[in-house]
Amino acid sequence: MSPLIAEMTGTALLLLLGDGVVANVLLKKTSGYSSGYIVITMGWGMAVFIGVFVSAAYSGAHINPAVTIGLAIAGKFAWSRVAGYLCAQLAGAILGSFLVWLSYRKHFDASEDARTKLLVFCTAPNIRNYGQNLISEAIGTFVLVFGILYMVAPKSSLGAMDALPVGLVVLAIGLSLGGPTGYAINPARDLGPRILHSLLPIRGKGSSDWNYSWVPVLGPILGSVVAAFLYLLLH
């Protein structure tokens, strides 16, 4: 498998399972309807595990533009490959969220609330304050990227990025820091599905909330940059 196909596949699996658990919890007449936030955070943690596990041997399993950028700043990934990885991740995010819609089409029809339908695809703040929301996304992504940089460090006991530790980091971020914004911590994870939401023929879907869309893109990138520079400062 080529690195770009691996990144697209890993990100598609991430979104299929991650957005899938959100759909299972939020949309009406599903087996998991109203089962709560803990189910969502566990589902996303396992989604990361699967996405990383499948793609790690072929691409390094970034499956997140913030991770790609952070690794490049830290000198662990070639800048010449960044653009290709970002495009593959965005394509994978769109594909994965499309498969979620395909699986849950009738449940979208059975759910009336437009915001609920949007949340299956992308994040939204519980208290809208763009500056504060940006900080929340940056902090969550800082934890993710800083942790990953140590997982791929030569002196790490893991030896290389490992699927389960990354999944556990995302689970911890979701449980501890996900409350304000829904912890996108991944620009492709939010932007790709938001684009798809705007295009799909979903009954009563409402707005795709483009006014907020820049926050889960810029916030994770800022958090990644800070994590990478702090890592370099400490080493």
For the stretch 55-94, pLDDT in tens is 999 999 999 999 999 999 999 999 999 999 999 999 999 9
The sign of the torsion formed by the CA atoms of 70, 169, 161, 146 equals positive
Q: How many whole angstroms separate alpha carbon 61 and alpha carbon 175?
A: 23
Could you tell me which residues come within 8 angstroms of residue 66 by beta carbon, excluding any fewer than 6 positions away? 141, 144, 145, 185, 186, 187, 220, 221, 223, 224
CATH for 218? 1.20.1080.10
pLDDT (0 to 100) of residue 153: 54
pLDDT (0 to 100) of residue 152: 74
- The number of domains in the chain is 1
Work out the percent of the chain whose per-residue pLDDT is above 70: 96
What are the C-alpha distances in Å from 168 to residues 41, 91, 145, 212?
10, 25, 13, 28
Which of the pair, 160 or 27, is modelled with greater confidence?
Answer: 27
pLDDT (0 to 100) of residue 1: 85
Residues in the chain: 235
Predicted confidence band of residue 151 (pLDDT cuts 50, 70, 90)? confident
Mean pLDDT (the chain) is 94
The sign of the torsion formed by the CA atoms of 89, 91, 94, 100 equals negative
Mean pLDDT of 41-48: 97
**Residue 98 confidence (pLDDT) above 90:** yes
CB burial of 133-156 (b: ≥16 within 10 Å; e: otherwise) equals bbbbbbbbbbbbbbbbbebbbeee
| Domain boundaries, position 180 | 3-234
- Do 69 and 36 form a contact (C-beta atoms < 8 A)? no
Could you tell me which residues come within 8 angstroms of residue 176 by beta carbon, excluding any fewer than 6 positions away? none
pLDDT (0 to 100) of residue 72: 97
Q: Measured in whole angstroms, how far is the alpha carbon of residue 228 from the centre of its chain?
A: 19
What are the C-alpha distances in Å from 172 to residues 19, 104, 222?
18, 28, 20
Lowest mean pLDDT among 53-67, 95-109, 147-161, 181-195: 147-161
- Do 82 and 221 form a contact (C-beta atoms < 8 A)? no
Amino acid occupying residue 124: A
**Residue 44 confidence (pLDDT) above 90:** yes
- Do 206 and 153 form a contact (C-beta atoms < 8 A)? no
Mean pLDDT of 188-210: 97
